[in-house]
Amino acid sequence: MHFPDESDLAADAAAAAPIDFSAPEGFRSGFVSFVGRPNTGKSTLTNALVGQKIAITADQPETTRHPIRGVIHRDDSQIVVVDTPGLHRPRTLLGERLNEIVKDTYQDVDLIAVCVPADEKIGPGDRWIVDAVRKVAPKTELIGVVTKVDKVGKDKVGEQLLALHDLLEGAEVIPVSATEKIQLDVLADVIADHLPEGPKFYPDDHVTDDDRDTRMAELIREAALAGLQDELPHSVAVQIDEVAPSADREGVLDVHAIIYVEREGQKAILRGKGGRRLSRTVHNARLQIIEMLGQNVYLDIRLKVAKNWQSDPKQLGKLGF
């Protein structure tokens, strides 16, 4: 998967309708990627900084499956946040492909922010990620972000700041809470200070590069994952099958989606007793899609088995990986 660099963006901008990308003298712009173990709050932090939900969140690790770009517009800078899947030791072909996407992303950004949660001690997994980042992008500057500082006391936050500072060999470290909006402006200031001077890459109303169908599929997957445990979440994939204006309901958009799992027994879990879990998934996802699109939606979801799709190259290609 090719991650667009500055020349790609300039070419796209030139081909599109004329847009004013001018910026005042001293304006800074660039790309920052949040990295860290799965479930360290990277997606929640991305949404909080952008000011809009562009990345789904869930209690399970490895929720994010493709790089999601969100744009932070400021008077003195334009920050493009790239939320990536968590770098991890892969167990499946899907995991291997996600890791390759992440590594490609790291090579194309201006700054990498290593995230660790305040309520978990830094361990071998964090050190493995930092080492991997330094091997893949040795020239890219690093900063540290201690997330979820609202969950612990000040002493614990201080200990974690020092530990991350040492892990990153003296890099700047910032404590934040995305849910409580603590220090988000400070983090944005620090990121902007580390970006090069340059023009705007996106118009002022641009929020994310994800297309409509991808965002809808992700919202459905988020709703389906709610309350699931163990390994089933990794077996869930969503595709939008068809989107069209309703033939008999004015102003309603009909959305037909498929949730793929790897085994028949997993279908039963997602359907739930009497179909109640699936109904709840449809209800919750529909509300999120309506909020995103700003119009009424009829949502139909079917469950299908794609046997062992996480390790099947043909199935992975069909599902967009």
Burial string for 81-116 (b: 16+ CB within 10 Å, else e) reads: bbbbbbbbeeebbbbebbbebbbebbebbbbbbbbb
Closest among 303, 304, 286 to 295, alpha carbons compared: 286
Domains and CATH numbers, the chain: 28-194 (3.40.50.300), 212-319 (3.30.300.20)
Q: What does pTM read for this prediction?
A: 0.74
Taking the CA of residue 280 as centre, how many other CA atoms within 13 Å lie in the half-sphere pointing to its CB?
15
SS percent in the chain: helix, strand, coil, step 5: 40, 20, 35
Question: What are 83's strand-pairing partners?
Answer: 34, 68
Q: Is 116 helix (H, G, I), strand (E, B) or coil?
A: strand
pLDDT the model gives residue 131: 93
Token pair of 94 as six digits: 């899907």
Percent of the chain with pLDDT over 70: 87
With 90 as the cut, is the pLDDT of residue 254 above it? yes
* DSSP type of residue 138: T
Question: Directed axis angle between helix 93-108 and helix 124-136, to 10°?
Answer: 60
Annotated binding site for GTP: 36-43, 83-87, 147-150
Whole-angstrom distance, CA of residue 237 vs CA of residue 125: 26
Ranked by mean pLDDT, which of 5-19, 76-90, 141-155, 256-270 comes out on top? 141-155
With 80 as the cut, is the pLDDT of residue 191 above it? yes
Mean per-residue pLDDT, 231-255:
88
| Residue 156 CA to its chain's centroid (Å) | 27
With 50 as the cut, is the pLDDT of residue 63 above it? yes
- Write the single-letter amino acid at 280: R
Question: Directed axis angle between helix 276-293 and helix 212-225, to 10°?
Answer: 150
Annotated binding site: 36-43, 83-87, 147-150
pLDDT the model gives residue 114: 95
pLDDT the model gives residue 93: 79
Q: Are 289 and 222 in contact (CB under 8 A)?
A: no
Question: What are 114's strand-pairing partners?
Answer: 35, 144
Sign of CA dihedral 266, 272, 273, 274: negative
